[in-house]
Structure 1
Amino acid sequence: MPHRYKVREIAQQAGLSEATVDRVLNDRAGVRESTRAEVAQAIADLDKQRAQLRLNGRRFLIDVVMQTPRRFSDAFRAAIEAELPAFAPAMVRARFHLWEAGATAQTVDALSRIRGSHGVVLKAQDEPEVVEAVDRLVAGGVPVVTYSTDVPSSSRCAYVGIDNHGAGMTAAYLMDQWLGPAPSDVLITLSRTVFRGEGEREVGFRSGLRRSGRAIVEVSDSDGIDATNERLVFDALERNPRIEAVYSAGGGNTATVAAFERLERNCRVFVAHDLDADNRRLLRDGRISVVLHNDLRADARLAIRVLLQQHGALPVEPVRTTPIQVVTPYNLP
């Protein structure tokens, strides 16, 4: 059967005879599985070498555009910068456009000012104006990857991140297991409802707790900023004395813990997202119960790879959702 490499090339790479490689490629009988594995590995090695040749001497500039609390943008920026050298012999550089709070217009403006870019990694609101801004970039030859929260109706080439609905279901499962028969109500905190990822987490969480009979109290539109979040959580706790657990879909966890402490209220279970500096400290100190985490460096590497694939610099590979890690104080990396 035809193949992207000559039989001779594969045979040389695998250290096998051309006849053996031909039998493997044509799926003939009488070939050991170990030999088939050697041929598959040789082809993978040739793919890698071809990709290296395509990258040699090429320069790429990517833009990272995010509205998110600084604790998260700092962590993701560090992940991007750590992964850039991995794409050698190509030279990949990154520009960062990061802010904590603002209207959709700020995101649209940031996207409209991008020039000379080979691709954008975007964490933004799922709003019609953002869809239009993404579509304009893509029409102009600039591919866009959405990260952490999707804008699915846009022309973005891929979404990189966790299955947010599944994360919400996981949080509900842990919450219900740990609360047991206690009739505790649950607080869910969101940074802003226009972020699709947080909305999907909330839907998953509510679905997972539907049969528990627990009341779910929502706090939103804090942008994940501590001062705003503490005030909103404090008010919610004063109005709802039965709240004894928290699912933080949008961050601001130091502030949420502080609101419980100001009222001398016990938080029996606290499920959070992302191993940023605040959550590491809170987890070590026993202030939160568990963190649902994904490897930011793996996410950064995948996002950059997808952008380079759009320029034909790397072979196309399928994009899969990032696995969720359940991190407790006892397996904290």
Structure 2
Amino acid sequence: MDQDTDTATDTVATPALTLKDIARQAGVSLATVDRVLHNRPGVRPDTVRRVKEAIARNAFQPHVGAAELARARARRFAFVMPTGPNLFMQQIQAYLDEMSAWLSARRLSVEVVATDVFDPSVLAASLEALSGDYDGVAVVALDHPSVRAAIDDLVEAGTKVVTLVSDVPSSRRHHYVGIDNIAAGRTAGALVGRLAGQKSGKVAIVAGSQGLRDHAERIFGFNQVMASEFPRLDVLPVLEGRDDDDRSEQALARLFGRHADIVGLYNVGAGTPGVARALSNAGREKQVVFVGHDVTVLTRRLLLQGVMDAAISQNPGHEARAAVRVLLALARGEPILREQEKIRIDIVMRDNLP
């Protein structure tokens, strides 16, 4: 009778090979094996051949994490972030802090460099000061010639550069981590127009700076929808508050004083406390449709109070993790998992607050 049985053998399991074993067989250093595995320059063709033959001979499958830990040099990433009380940017920094154990396990360190991202000369100088000190840089960038030049210089020097939240696509940056801002602006326009119902009147826009590409693209998308779908609503010239609470409040207060028929308000960036104060001080919080960005402690409260009608949201934790993962993939010469790193646009209202 046939039986399914396991055949017992007196074999001893062969220990798994390591990068050190491959280096010893090929007669090279551990660092050289690592360079060959990641297709980095600076290794002679004959040495590359010996390493690859040793890998093939042993059917060696390198473990990426082990290879990273075996590397002698730790990697440093810098996140260039705006100064000031921008709650969304503070959330990104908080999520970076939460990643400390994950970063340590991969011999990574992340340092936050705070600067005035609205001043191109200051931002460019901050980027230039990073050259040679970091393996990767993530920057909330102003789309300006001097900033583009500073990014290009970093890339030329071998630094991996990722733009975060706001892009500079004409630069040589390697990747952008953030939402589709034109789509976000179009979403805001559709919300303001539909929530205004049959009202006619004016719509105010408050931005940090139209020099920030994310703000400029949001305004472009917003105006596209307003012009094509809601011609009864007249969009006023953009106010720039540099994401500052007091500036935003003062600019909007003056606008309310000049226009009694404002029925919609789109806050493109931060400065939300100032925008909300101007709206309340004018006694218009129940008459004006107010759409802004991001779910923070403040916008959550404004949504619950009915002062704010909707927030266009992007996940700050996802952005923080995606930026680090993309920089790490670039530094290792590995493919970027684009679908994983894609940042979604969410619409949050009082009734679906997370």
Q: Does TM, scored on the shorter chain, surpass 0.5?
A: yes
**Alpha-carbon distance in 2 for matches of 1:163, 1:102:** 21
Provide the secondary structure at the position in 2 that maps to 1:271: strand
Provide the secondary structure at the position in 2 that maps to 1:61: strand
**Alpha-carbon distance in 2 for matches of 1:165, 1:68:** 25
**Alpha-carbon distance in 1 for matches of 2:263, 2:103:** 47
Q: Please, which of 96, 100, 111 is the counterpart of residue 127 of structure 2?
A: 111
Instruction: Report Cα offsets for 1:86-105 as digits up to 9, x if no partner.
Output: 35631221111124565211
Which is higher, the Rg of structure 1 or of structure 2? 2
Q: Which runs of 5+ in 1 are unaligned?
A: 1-47
Residues 1-333 of structure 1 mapped to structure 2, 5 A cutoff: 50-58=63-71, 59-67=74-82, 69-70=84-85, 71-87=87-103, 89-99=105-115, 103-114=119-130, 115-211=132-228, 212-213=230-231, 214-266=233-285, 267-312=287-332, 314-318=334-338, 321-333=342-354
Provide the secondary structure at the position in 2 that maps to 1:251: coil
**Percent identity, aligned pairs only?**
28
**Alpha-carbon distance in 1 for matches of 2:117, 2:141:** 11
**Alpha-carbon distance in 2 for matches of 1:132, 1:174:** 38
**Alpha-carbon distance in 1 for matches of 2:82, 2:247:** 16
Q: Which amino acid aligns with 2:267?
A: S
Instruction: Report Cα offsets for 1:187-235 as digits up to 9, x if no partner.
Output: 1111111001110000100001113121112343311101111110011
Q: Select between 154-163 and 319-328 the one with higher mean Cα deviation.
A: 319-328
Instruction: Give the aligned length.
Output: 286
Q: Which amino acid aligns with 1:255?
A: G
User: Residues 168, 102 of structure 1: CA spacing in aligned structure 2 closer, same or farther, 3 A cutoff?
Assistant: closer
Provide the secondary structure at the position in 1 that maps to 2:332: coil
User: 8 Å contact 1:193–1:220 — kept in the other structure?
Assistant: no
Q: List, as ranges, runs of 4+ consecutive aligned residues in structure 1 with deviation greater than 4 Å.
A: none
User: Residues 247, 231 of structure 1: CA spacing in aligned structure 2 closer, same or farther, 3 A cutoff?
Assistant: same
User: Residues 55, 84 of structure 1: CA spacing in aligned structure 2 closer, same or farther, 3 A cutoff?
Assistant: farther
**Alpha-carbon distance in 1 for matches of 2:144, 2:248:** 23
User: 8 Å contact 1:143–1:156 — kept in the other structure?
Assistant: yes
CA deviation after TM superposition for structure 1 residue 257, in Å: 1.8
Q: Which runs of 5+ in 2 are unaligned?
A: 1-60
User: 8 Å contact 2:199–2:263 — kept in the other structure?
Assistant: no
Provide the secondary structure at the position in 2 that maps to 1:245: strand
RMSD: 2.0
User: 8 Å contact 1:147–1:160 — kept in the other structure?
Assistant: yes
Provide the secondary structure at the position in 2 that maps to 1:311: helix
Provide the secondary structure at the position in 2 that maps to 1:202: helix
CA deviation after TM superposition for structure 1 residue 148, in Å: 0.9
CA deviation after TM superposition for structure 1 residue 315, in Å: 4.3
**Structure-2-length-normalised TM-score:** 0.76
Q: Which amino acid aligns with 1:159?
A: Y
Instruction: Report Cα offsets for 1:108-152 as digits up to 9, x if no partner.
Output: 111111142011110121001001100111111111100111111
**Structure-1-length-normalised TM-score:** 0.80
User: Residues 72, 216 of structure 1: CA spacing in aligned structure 2 closer, same or farther, 3 A cutoff?
Assistant: same
Provide the secondary structure at the position in 2 that maps to 1:151: coil
Q: Which amino acid aligns with 2:353?
A: L
**Alpha-carbon distance in 2 for matches of 1:287, 1:49:** 56
CA deviation after TM superposition for structure 1 residue 293, in Å: 0.8
Instruction: Report Cα offsets for 1:266-297 as digits up to 9, x if no partner.
Output: 44311111122321222222221111111111
Provide the secondary structure at the position in 1 that maps to 2:65: helix
**Alpha-carbon distance in 1 for matches of 2:160, 2:176:** 12
The equivalent residue for 1:34 is: none
Q: Select between 98-107 and 158-167 the one with higher mean Cα deviation.
A: 98-107
Provide the secondary structure at the position in 2 that maps to 1:117: coil
